[in-house]
Amino acid sequence: SVGAGAPDKVVTTTCSYCGVGCQFDFQVNTKTNRILRVTSNPQAPVNGMHLCVKGRYGYDYIHHPDRLLKPRVREYLLKGEKRPANGERGPWVEVDWDTALEIVARKLVEARDTYGPDSVGILTSAKCTNEENYLMNKLARQVIGTNNIDHCARLCHSSTVAGLALAYGSGAMSNSMKDVAEKAAVIFIIGSNTTEQHPVFGAMIRQAVLKRGAKLIVADPRKIDITEFATLHLQQRPGTDIALLNGLMHIIVQNGWQDEAFIAERTENYEAFLENLQDYTPEKVSAITGVPVERLYQAAEIMGKNRPMAVIWAMGITQHIVGVQNVLTLANLQMLLGNMGVPGGGVNPLRGQNNVQGACDMGGLPDVYPGYQRVTTEEARLKFEQAWGVALPDKVGLTVTEMIPAAGEGKIKAMYILGENPVMSDPDSNHVRHCLQTLDFLALQEIFPSETSAYADVLLPGVSFAEKDGTFTNTERRVQRVRQAIQPLGEARPDWMIIQDLAQRILGQGNRQVNPEAPYGKWNYTNTAQIMDEIAALTPIYAGISHARLEVGESLQWPVRSKDHPGTPILHVGRFTRGKGKFHPTVHVPPAEQPDRTYPMVLTTGRVLYHWHGGEMTRRSKGLMKVYDRPLIEINPEDAQRIGLNGKRMVRVSSRRGSIIAEAWITERVPPGLIYGNFHFPEASVNELTLAALDPISKIPEFKVAAVRVEAYSE
Ligand code: SF4
């Protein structure tokens, strides 16, 4: 318990950490306005009574004294002065909401009307609700007039969305977690540290192996915890997934284990795919990946002889310069084996943030309106122009990985960022800091001061998920309610109210005219259910979703095409979204940066069980910090000896972009030549080292491979 008093209210809501979407009860004392504890709710559709350590104990950040409780603006703005020329922003001053919002509105209008709408960049938030993400999409497109809107999905699953859209016509998890855990004969996990990053689903997979004998194949460069339960662990070198998968498919075809009927009836471009496979002989694949030939045969046989197989992946597949090609290769595998559109099968990308699926669904992306309706399609554009009462841009906007460099080049003049911390989460932090410093104006809406707020001109205090209403959509496309448990702390306000207030102020200014008589031209919502009704009216995959249906206990997975449609637990049954599934020949391309004499080791990056992304919330949770309070660099004992660690604890890790000093964890989890680190702690974030090499289609950075030098460090 973090507060005084006994609980006098119970509020059922959805976890704000990962995409599994566990539900639980907040035990609240309304007099002290405090959350006292989290308890399980047996009705929770995904997790029942289960919760992981973050969901059960990681909520005390909500009451942390660092919370932003009043808007802040830089003193130079109040004095009507120019920003200091050296890029410094000067001291903060606490102000009332009117003052802060007037400044943000004026500055965004100034940039829009002086340099054009595309000089403004907007980052929305996968931590916020669907309703808030919809409003951010509407603010960017209707109010500012730009498609420059993106969010952290760019950094995690943009390659999944693009790859699956090319292969199948839509880019989301095809099956449900329960379905995989209960019905898959084989579970193939590649590039997902499931037990640490999606812990409740990881536990379900463990149970599937232990209780009903499901076969588990794990492909991962590290010996992650779930490998202890695996029938087979394929320890491929980072950045060799295409070779590995093509090698497995080569053996499957060699043995005739493919599903000819499925291929003939439901797919196209098979011949070109087959021809490409010829090249991936087991011997060649073994040389590229480091996986012994006999293991390739064992894995292919398990896959070929047991159906259905569910494939699960996460950042280990997506965060590469070949992220889209990796996803296409997995899409090929599941078509080859006929594992699509069936219970216990499917493609199952595990979304990271609690609402990253929803933020994508709501049009928090530069190329699509809500429901993946493309901004470049005239029909979709006309529909939204008519709904919102204004002409809309027809050109795809900038991704976050393009927007930040564009800020550095002076092309993006002003940004409005909701609940994101690019200094911690984007690659090459030094470069990110430089770019943000160059911006004319940055408004940041957050619950804590963050590493990015050093570059902000205005800080708008939003609220945690415990202080607002709305919905999140989990990794399996399930839309679930988020319910307000306590009153907003201090003068902080629910984010949807702040976005609406800002939109109303901007609509009255400058030279962009919106027709207020258009069906959805106005901004006068009094609750979040009304926002969901607007979403449903304009978004076919959400057409049947309403707060009222969720309140009576319906559990809906999109597409939900009408008010009496029951939702869609499995995608691509009988037909792919694009009609036939398309095979794509894919080719192994080495990572952008290779080890050399100066930087002889490979760094791969990720997260740990006890922390969450940039760590803003979990570093402010006492229980979680007790278990993991500093960043650790995993290093193999052989390497530790080679660099002369000799019982010392600290290492300096350097890349071409920067260097960090952190404690080493000497462990066999990583093979010789590979180290692993996380980006949870600003004092030693691996993003000081990572590089911004991008996948050409999805623009996702290659967080998973960087060349580094590791040395023993003494203070
Ligand atoms: Fe929250 Fe994910 Fe843990 Fe469930 S598994 S409690 S959603 S962090």
Instruction: Give 151-178 as a 3 state SS string.
Output: CCHHHHCHHHHHHHHHHHCCCCCCCCHH
User: DSSP letter at 526?
Assistant: S
Q: What are the residue ranges in the chain where pLDDT is below 50? A: 1-3
CATH ID of 9-63, from 1.10.3720.10, 2.20.25.90, 2.60.40.10, 2.40.30.10: 2.20.25.90
CATH code of the domain made up of 601-712: 2.40.40.20
- Are residues 21 and 583 in contact, defined by beta-carbon separation less than 8 angstroms? no
Please report, as a single letter, which amino acid is at residue 618: T
Phi/psi at 153 (5° precision): -60, -30
What is the 388 CA–ligand 1 centroid distance (Å)? Answer: 36
pLDDT value of residue 4? 56
Whether pTM exceeds 0.90: yes
Residue of 12, 15, 351 with the most ligand 1 atoms within 8 Å of its CB, for mutation: 15
Within 13 Å and on the Cβ side, how many CA atoms surround 656?
Answer: 17
pLDDT value of residue 510? 84
Residues of the chain with CATH 2.40.40.20: 601-712
pLDDT value of residue 1? 43
What is the 201 CA–ligand 1 centroid distance (Å)? Answer: 9
Residue of 20, 26, 40, 177 with the most ligand 1 atoms within 8 Å of its CB, for mutation: 20
Residues of the chain with CATH 2.20.25.90: 9-63
CATH T-level topology, domain 72-81+89-150+354-557: Rossmann fold (3.40.50)
Give the 3-state secondary structure of 449-514.
Answer: CCCCHHHCCEEEECCCHHHCCEEEECCCCEEEEECCCCCCCCCCCCHHHHHHHHHHHHHCCCCCCC
Query: pLDDT by residue (tens digit) across 418-428?
Result: 999 999 888 88
Residues of the chain with CATH 3.40.228.10: 158-350
Q: What is the number of other CB atoms lying within 10 angstroms of the CB of residue 255?
A: 13
Residues of the chain with CATH 3.40.50.740: 72-81+89-150+354-557
The encoded tokens of residue 421 equal 């911390």
Q: Is 352 in the pocket of ligand 1 (CB under 6 A)?
A: no
- Are residues 189 and 312 in contact, defined by beta-carbon separation less than 8 angstroms? yes
What is the 677 CA–ligand 1 centroid distance (Å)? Answer: 22
Q: Is 371 in the pocket of ligand 1 (CB under 6 A)?
A: no
The architecture that CATH gives domain 158-350 is: 3-Layer(aba) Sandwich (3.40)
